[in-house]
Chain A
Amino acid sequence: MRLLTHNFMCSPRTKAYPLRLVPAEIEMIESAYNPGFVQHVLPRIEWEPLRATALACGLGELPPSPPQDPNVDEDVWRLLHRILLDTHVKEGILVSPSGAEYTIHNSIPNMLPKTAADAEPKHVPQATDIMDE
């Protein structure tokens, strides 16, 4: 899960925001610098949660307010690109303000409410099902 997506996500039932990220394994995969895309999504990003999450992942400090012009402060834009798009949380937990937890496994977060999932576990057919005795 990229940190851009994390910034977009909220609790599935209550829509509470933000979800606190507790990363267990992070992989940095470098991609081509794309200021056009960063500029396109910047208005949709909540800045303070992004700043806090970047610090929690040990990625460096973003300035207190978002940058305005990609031609100025290219360092900030490059850091922003790295944080949003190059940071992949492979394993971890997302915690909602009410305490509900959602796991991230193999880079894929599972946002199904745990109580419903626990109540009806998926039935995986075993060899013992068809054997007698």
Chain B
Amino acid sequence: MMGIYLIRFVPRLAHFRIPELLSVAASLGVDEQSLDLRPAVAECSTELVECEGPEDPEWREDTYGTYGPSLLQFARFESDALAVEVARRCVLVRHLARVIGAGQMYELCLADALERWRTEPWLKAIADDPHMSWRCRMDAMGCAYANEQKVEKYHVFGEILKGIKGKVDLKRPKMQLYVFEGRSPLKLKLMHRDRSPRRKLKSSSSSLDDALGHELQVAASGGHDESAASFDEIEGDSDDDASDGSRGAVSQPPQPDVVVFGVYLSRGFHDAARIFDVSKRCLMSTTSMEGSMAVIMANMSSMRRQNEVVCDPFCGSASLLLSAAYLGAQVLGFDIDDTSLSGRSINDKRNRLGELPFPCPLGNAVCTITKNFEQLGLREGPLDLAVMDCGSALRDGMLDVVLTDPPYGLREGAFEQTDNQLVAAKDIILSLLEFSARQLRPGGRLVYFLPVLRHEYCDENVPSHPALKLLFNAEQPLSINFSRRLMVLERL
């Protein structure tokens, strides 16, 4: 019997969240149909739909509203273990919980929960276990409640909570019962309007004079550009019990649009940013892919956790390959520039990568790609590195995944600059598509970033190849004018 689970995503990178989840699920053998993703909150409509819970067909809504897919999604998995495995790998998943009840108001949620509480065996097992210590927690989108307010809300479910034989343990409970309050994008926008923006830009390096370069650096540091018309800034970032007035608590928050009561199961890949922090690395360059994005891209490739041959034909400092290798791939890195591949010496001032902004944590004179791998415990390093032009020296059919961030031709241009800089970028993309079509096994994926001028972009102009099927196209806005789109293609 398939259980119903609630997935709560991280507020950023809205258009990446469903593709990442679907790709990770696919790598574990869960197809999109059986996953049955449904948004928990209506996207753009301001009318409330009268219905009782996720089982009701009225829940089916258009998944991609103006503000990207809903932060809260319902999904079906065959087992807790499978659901946890999927959630744990996704960088953009914040929480996973198994649903006991859901509804558009607290009363409806309670009614749904009571019905399951009385009938479903897994819930009976939880209730009857005297050793199952528990506590309640709140995750309310867009606001933070004081403790008294939270306890008041937990008491709504008093009938259920009274029936649990286990004791309450606030410090180390075996089980956590979560109350999720979801609000529609429109409501959150209205709530946020009166508050001052909480997110601050990290200061950018003064040596970057290129406007796009600035945007890329902001994206690289994981922050947000204020001029970006990104909904991510608006959605609240409330979490657990860390409630204090400075987090922007609204004294009379509007009613939630959905309330879900469930058993908390797991976080997402919360540690990705810390593990892959570029500033802690031995070797880094101006083009190194930001750590958590590198993991998201590896997840998008749907790669299995061992033995896949993953190639980056424009690897640079091999930041992408590092994350793929950490997740179990055997990686091949190619680049047209031999100085990127052979690393850099701190004392070598003629090296084009320049001085390191952070001292090398290993204290070595020479920083190499292989040392980056060793830092993460990958003793065997990449499968190989080679200097070549767009992977031309590889015979056909050798790869499972092509994972790359091709040169945009803007900052680190390896090609001649023409008047129209994006022409050079397009030629590289076409070579990349050709390379991937020749090299990928059937079912293998190509994942790459396409730089885009937002006002010129249209779906029809996206570079394509007859042997490659476009699966996902997720936009990461960098500024008003520029964005980059993560393209995920599958070899037919």
B384 touches A112 (CB 8 A): no
B383 touches A4 (CB 8 A): yes
CA of A110 to CA of B386 in the docked complex: distance in angstroms?
Answer: 6
Q: Is B275 positioned at the interface, with any CB of A under 8 Å from its CB?
A: no
Within A11-39, which residues are at the interface with B (CB < 8 Å)?
A: 11-13, 15, 17, 29, 31, 34, 36-37
| Nearest chain B CB to A31 CB, angstrom units | 5
Known: A37-B330, A108-B385, A112-B336. A44 touches B397 (CB 8 A): yes
Interface stretch among B193-201, B388-396, B405-413?
B388-396
CB-contact partner of A36 in B307, B332, B380, under 8 A: B307
Q: Is A109 positioned at the interface, with any CB of B under 8 Å from its CB?
A: yes
Q: Is B306 positioned at the interface, with any CB of A under 8 Å from its CB?
A: yes
Q: Is B338 positioned at the interface, with any CB of A under 8 Å from its CB?
A: yes
Q: What residues on A are CB-neighbors of B467 within 8 Å?
A: none
| Nearest chain A CB to B43 CB, angstrom units | 42
Number of interface residues of B (CB under 8 A): 26
User: Apart from A12-B393, A102-B393, what are 12 other A-B pairs with CB-CB below 8 Å?
Assistant: A2-B384, A5-B332, A5-B386, A10-B394, A10-B395, A13-B392, A17-B395, A29-B380, A31-B379, A40-B309, A108-B338, A124-B350
CB-contact partner of B392 in A12, A36, A41, A109, under 8 A: A12
Residue numbers of A with Cβ under 8 A of B are 1-2, 4-5, 8-13, 15, 17, 29, 31, 34, 36-37, 40-41, 44, 85, 102, 106-112, 124-125
CB-contact partner of A108 in B308, B387, B395, under 8 A: B387
Q: Is B2 positioned at the interface, with any CB of A under 8 Å from its CB?
A: no
CA of A72 to CA of B397 in the docked complex: distance in angstroms?
Answer: 27
Known: A36-B307, A108-B385. A10 touches B393 (CB 8 A): yes
CB-contact partner of B387 in A5, A40, A109, A124, under 8 A: A109
Q: What residues on A are CB-neighbors of B332 within 8 Å?
A: 5
CA of A11 to CA of B380 in the docked complex: distance in angstroms?
Answer: 27
| Nearest chain B CB to A12 CB, angstrom units | 4
CB-contact partner of B383 in A5, A9, A11, A111, under 8 A: A5
Q: Is B342 positioned at the interface, with any CB of A under 8 Å from its CB?
A: yes
CA of A44 to CA of B397 in the docked complex: distance in angstroms?
Answer: 7
Q: What residues on B are CB-neighbors of A40 within 8 Å?
A: 307-309
Within B298-352, which residues are at the interface with A (CB < 8 Å)?
A: 306-309, 330, 332, 336, 338, 341-342, 350
B388 touches A112 (CB 8 A): yes
CA of A10 to CA of B307 in the docked complex: distance in angstroms?
Answer: 23
Q: Is B398 positioned at the interface, with any CB of A under 8 Å from its CB?
A: yes
| Nearest chain B CB to A30 CB, angstrom units | 10
B398 touches A44 (CB 8 A): yes
